[in-house]
């Protein structure tokens, strides 16, 4: 990746840093009101969650633990379409926890549907899902997050944790990716 093609990949900013900060602050207050002093376990889905989770964790005031899972989804093509692999699982028993899963985006919904299905089997006290972004037009399975901070159209986005070929995760904003720069 050259500096030139890297920069050309960023087509336009669709959600800026101030907008992200404001929504996360609101989400933190909402979570505080939902759990009312009860301890929570924030479960981030790597890698896309890393920036969102870091900011969300700082926006809540209830007692909060943090844990991570890693998931990978495959679509069509050579791989079996729609299957989701859990590459890294939680270490702890979650049966005594109010769990909130934090994910970067719901696209087809397959990743979150699978993660929720698995975590429910482990009997948490409660389970909710918060996502930074929601792309409802792309949904392939029936799944809705409890909280999504921004609904976006069907464009590929990068930044604030989201990548294209592992690049752009470190951008502090969400940008539409310029697909013409691929190949
Ligand atoms: P889903 O299983 O189709 O809902 O998609 C889950 C994963 O696909 C997300 O966690 C992201 O890693 C990735 N993804 C979906 N849409 C985008 C996008 O627009 N930009 C970057 N990654 C995306
Ligand atoms: Mg990704």
Q: Decide if pLDDT at 31 tops 60.
A: yes
Q: What's the pLDDT at 83? A: 82
Atom of ligand 1 minimally distant from the CA of 155: 19
Does the beta carbon of 108 sit less than 6 angstroms from any atom of ligand 1?
yes
CATH of domain 17-156: 3.40.50.2020
Domain segments of the chain: what residues?
A: 17-156
pLDDT in tens, 69-116: 999 876 544 444 578 899 999 999 999 999 999 999 999 999 999 999
What integer pLDDT is reported at residue 76 of this predicted model? 44
Q: What is the pLDDT of residue 72?
A: 87
Which residue has its alpha carbon closest to ligand 1 atom 5?
107
Predicted structure pTM score: 0.94
Cα(8)–Cα(26) distance, integer angstroms: 33
Mean pLDDT, to the nearest integer, of 135-159? Answer: 96
Q: Are 117 and 143 in contact (CB under 8 A)?
A: no
Q: Does residue 3 register a pLDDT over 60?
A: yes
What is the Cα–Cα distance from 131 to 107, expressed in whole angstroms?
Answer: 11
- CA dihedral of residues 36, 40, 45, 47 (deg, nearest 10): 90
CB 168 within 8 A of CB 162: yes
Mutate to test the pocket of ligand 1, among 9, 104, 139, 176 (most ligand atoms within 8 A of CB): 104
Nearest residue (by CA) to ligand 1, atom 16, is 107
Q: Which atom of ligand 1 is nearest to the CA of 163?
A: 21
Asked whether 150 and 23 are in contact (CB, 8 A), the reply is yes
């Amino acid at each position: 990746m050259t500096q030139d093609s890297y920069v050309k990949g960023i087509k336009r900013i669709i959600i800026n840093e101030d907008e992200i900060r404001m929504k996360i602050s609101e989400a933190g207050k909402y979570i505080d009101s939902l759990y009312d002093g009860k301890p929570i376990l924030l479960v981030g889905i790597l890698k896309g969650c890393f920036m969102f989770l870091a900011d969300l964790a700082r926006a809540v005031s209830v007692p909060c633990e943090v844990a991570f899972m890693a998931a990978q989804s495959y679509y069509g093509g050579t791989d079996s379409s729609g299957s989701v692999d859990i590459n890294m699982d939680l270490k702890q028993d979650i049966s005594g926890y109010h769990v909130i899963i934090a994910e970067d985006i719901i696209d087809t919904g397959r990743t979150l549907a699978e993660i929720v299905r698995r975590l429910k089997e482990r009997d948490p006290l409660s389970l909710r899902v918060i996502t930074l972004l929601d792309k409802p037009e792309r949904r392939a399975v029936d799944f809705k997050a409890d909280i999504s901070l921004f609904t976006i159209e069907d464009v590929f986005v990068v930044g604030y944790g989201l990548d294209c070929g592992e690049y752009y995760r470190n951008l502090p904003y969400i940008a539409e990716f310029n697909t013409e720069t691929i190949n």
